[in-house]
């Protein structure tokens, strides 16, 4: 069903392209994005709405991927014991229950968190979709914004309220792909406030 304005929204034919194929590559997505003048990051985000990303180069129809949601969520509980868990903690995924036909990797994990998980979600700090960065947040945590999640992750690791230290931590733990000045400034400011409050509580 088309709605007013659909004819000028390149994401509409991109979605239709994906629905018409059971398996598409990143190269194909790039070609369609170029044809309809969509930025690649935005195009990949759109494809995520329709398909499951199973590795860095490939998306497949959801019907081709069988997630045992309850089992995988329970297995992730071993890693995600706090409200927020950095993606760096989840680099080793070989002990998660096998997905028939696919190997666990950070792209497949992102798809699981985006589409299937009932207990966890992935919060991402930027629109970049060419790799996976972000923090895994428990759905029952009450966290609603990425800056809050990053502050909690940094505080749990004892990161100083310093722009350089925060930037190094966020990149090293795969929370972010780049050191965005505005986001780092937010995190540093909130960290500083929390540390000051902690000092007052101790007194």
Residue 192 makes CB contacts below 8 A (sequence gap 6+) with: 161
Give the Cα separation of 138 and 82 in Å (integer). 8
Instruction: Report the half-sphere exposure of 12 (CA within 13 A, side-chain side).
Output: 9
Question: Cα 98 from chain centroid?
Answer: 21
Predicted pLDDT at 128: 65
Instruction: Burial-class residue 201 by CB neighbours within 10 Å (0-12, 13-18, 19+).
Output: exposed
Predicted pLDDT at 189: 96
**Structure token pair of residue 65:** 């991927």
Is 54 in contact with 66 (CB distance < 8 Å)? no
101: left (phi over 0), alpha (psi -120 to 50) or beta: left
Predicted pLDDT at 6: 43
Question: Model's pTM, two decimal places?
Answer: 0.86
Q: Tell me: the pLDDT tens digits for 96-154?
A: 999 999 999 999 999 999 999 999 999 988 766 778 999 999 999 999 999 999 999 99
Predicted pLDDT at 7: 41
Is 121 in contact with 164 (CB distance < 8 Å)? no
Q: Which residues of the chain have pLDDT under 50?
A: 1-7
Give the Cα separation of 59 and 47 in Å (integer). 8
**Structure token pair of residue 203:** 């007194």
């Amino acid at each position: 069903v088309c709605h007013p304005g659909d004819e000028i929204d390149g994401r509409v034919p991109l979605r239709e392209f994906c629905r018409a194929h059971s398996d598409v590559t990143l190269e194909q997505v790039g070609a369609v994005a170029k044809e309809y003048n969509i930025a690649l990051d935005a195009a990949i985000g759109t494809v995520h709405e329709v398909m499951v990303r199973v590795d860095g180069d490939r998306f497949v129809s959801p019907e081709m991927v069988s997630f045992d949601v309850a089992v995988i969520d329970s297995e992730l509980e071993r890693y995600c014991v706090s409200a927020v868990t950095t993606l760096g903690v989840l680099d080793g995924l070989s002990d998660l229950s096998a997905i028939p036909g696919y190997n666990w990797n950070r792209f497949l994990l992102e798809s699981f968190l985006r589409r299937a998980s009932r207990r966890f979600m992935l919060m991402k700090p930027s629109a970049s979709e060419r790799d996976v960065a972000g923090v895994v947040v428990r759905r029952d945590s009450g966290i609603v914004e990425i800056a809050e999640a990053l502050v909690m992750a940094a505080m749990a690791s004892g990161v100083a309220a310093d722009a350089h230290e925060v930037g190094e931590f966020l990149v090293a733990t795969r929370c972010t792909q780049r050191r965005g000045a505005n986001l780092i400034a937010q995190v540093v400011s909130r960290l500083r406030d929390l540390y000051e409050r902690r000092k007052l509580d101790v007194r």
